[in-house]
Structure formats: structure tokens, C-alpha cells
Chains A and B, each alone.
Chain A
Amino acid sequence: GESVGLHLPTLSVQEGDNSIINCAYSNSASDYFIWYKQESGKGPQFIIDIRSNMDKRQGQRVTVLLNKTVKHLSLQIAATQPGDSAVYFCAENTAGANSKLTFGKGITLSVRP
């Protein structure tokens, strides 16, 4: 089927290594950020979120870092597994935007066995 990962930047990592996926967001007024994972043929799946009053948030094997000074968001995946192969994209919600999200174009993560 069609791959939404085509034409997107690709990050290739070795299985077991840590992955860092970066996102530059656009609006300094954004106060809520989300990382989504999208596997081929499926809808985007929520991974982790962070509010602008935080710099770091940890989940299971994932950590999100927020640097508001440079408007940068990163997703760290520990001990990357083949099942982590997917397109990852960030989304931002701007205060006052009434629940609408602005999505980045995404990065393809490819895990080498």
C-alpha cells in the first residue's frame, strides 16, 4: 500500500540503540505538544505529550524534551526495537486555538536488525 513515509526525512538506527527524533515548531505561543507514531496503513497513534510549563516528560521507553527558547521538541526512544519503525510527527496546540493542532510533516524511523 501507499507509504506515507515516502519523501520524508529518514532516520536509520540500529536495533538496541537509542533514537532521537527532532521537531522544530512554529509558534512561540504554543502551550501543548504531542508526539504521534504512524505505522504503515494505520492512523496516527498518541505516544506522549508535554505542556509548555515542563521541559521534560518520560514515558515507557520514551522521553520528550521541550526547549522553548529555540522552539524545539525532541522524542527520545530508548533501546529502539523493530516495532518502533514508523513515521513520527509532532503536533502543537496554540493557546486559544480551540483544540486545533498543527502537525509537522513527519520523520521516518527505520530500525536496522
Chain B
Amino acid sequence: DAEITQSPRHKITETGRQVTLACHQTWNHNNMFWYRQDLGHGLRLIHYSYGVQDTNKGEVSDGYSVSRSNTEDLPLTLESAASSQTSVYFCASSETSGGSDTQYFGPGTRLTVL
């Protein structure tokens, strides 16, 4: 079955370290998204991509970057981790808009920055 996976599921790192969170989907979806979820804020969009080599900033993109070298993967990199980036991170994907914009989510990565 097609799915979307994230790894690692849990990560503890130190302030200032570079961290990369992986997202992999097998639906062949063009659109991929990264969100963070914090108490009191709901889901906030970090970065998104509409296809290979396309990346765009979301509302909370500072300190994060993404790259899209193929359809299946959109890794999220924290260039220099900060305590404010402790959060739960979700990746999602959707088909190219043409009918359904439903986003399907991965299981999440819980990141703790000490």
C-alpha cells in the first residue's frame, strides 16, 4: 500500500547542531509539505514543494530548509538547532490540485533540542 513515512520518529539533539528529518511518500504525489505542531498553535506550515526542484517558504520557515531532488522525498533540515525548534514535525503530501487537495500526513517526528 502507498504510504508516507517519517524518520526518525524521535530525536534529541543539542543546540547548534544540524538536524535533518526525512519524509518519504510512495503515492507519487507532486505536493509535499512540512508542518510543526505546538501546544496552542495548531499546525503551522514550514516549507512546501509542488514538484521536483520546487521549494517554497511557509509561515514559519526561519531556521529551516528543504530540498526536492525527487518526487518521493522532502527532507527538512534545521541548519543550527535552537530550543525554540523543539516540536512535533509532520510531513504531508497531496496530489496536484485538479480535484482533491486532501493532504495525507505522516506519523510525525518528535524533536527535542537541549
Are A and B part of the same complex? yes
The stretch from B13-21, B69-77, B105-113 touching chain A is B105-113
Given the interface pairs A2-B88, A4-B37, A99-B97, the reply to whether A104 lies near B105 with Cβ below 8 Å is no
In the complex, which residues of chain A have a beta carbon less than 8 angstroms from the beta carbon of B34?
A: none
Across the interface, do A104 and B31 meet the contact criterion of CB distance under 8 Å? no
Contacts of A2 in B (CB 8 A): 39, 88, 110
Distance A36 CA – B43 CA, assembled complex (angstroms):
12
Does chain A have a CB within 8 A of B104?
yes
In this complex, how many residues of chain A approach chain B with their Cβ under 8 Å: the count is: 26
Q: Is the CB of A43 within 8 A of B101?
A: no
Instruction: Please report the number of residue pairs spanning A and B whose Cβ atoms sit closer than 8 angstroms.
Output: 55
A99 with B50: CB separation less than 8 A: yes
Known: A98-B97, A99-B96, A100-B45. Is A46-B108 also a contact (CB below 8 A)? no
Find residues 83-113 in chain A having any chain B CB closer than 8 Å to their own CB. 89, 91, 93, 98-101, 103-106
Prevailing SS type, chain A contact patch:
loop
The reply to whether the CB of A42 lies closer than 8 angstroms to some CB of chain B is yes
* Chain A residue, CB-CB nearest to B100: A49
The count of chain B contact residues (Cβ–Cβ below 8 Å) is 26
Interface: A75 (CB within 8 A): no
A43 touching B107 in the complex, CB below 8 Å, given contacts A99-B94, A101-B101, A103-B42: yes
- For the complex of A and B, the 7 pairs showing the least CB-CB separation, nearest first, are A43-B105, A105-B42, A103-B43, A99-B97, A93-B101, A44-B105, A99-B101
* Interface residues of B, Cβ cutoff 8 Å to A: 31, 33, 37, 39-43, 45, 48, 50, 88, 90, 94, 96-97, 100-108, 110
Could you list some 23 contacts between A and B, CB below 8 A? A1-B110, A2-B39, A2-B88, A6-B39, A34-B102, A36-B105, A42-B108, A44-B90, A46-B102, A46-B104, A49-B100, A49-B102, A89-B42, A89-B43, A91-B103, A93-B101, A99-B31, A99-B97, A99-B103, A100-B33, A100-B45, A100-B48, A103-B42
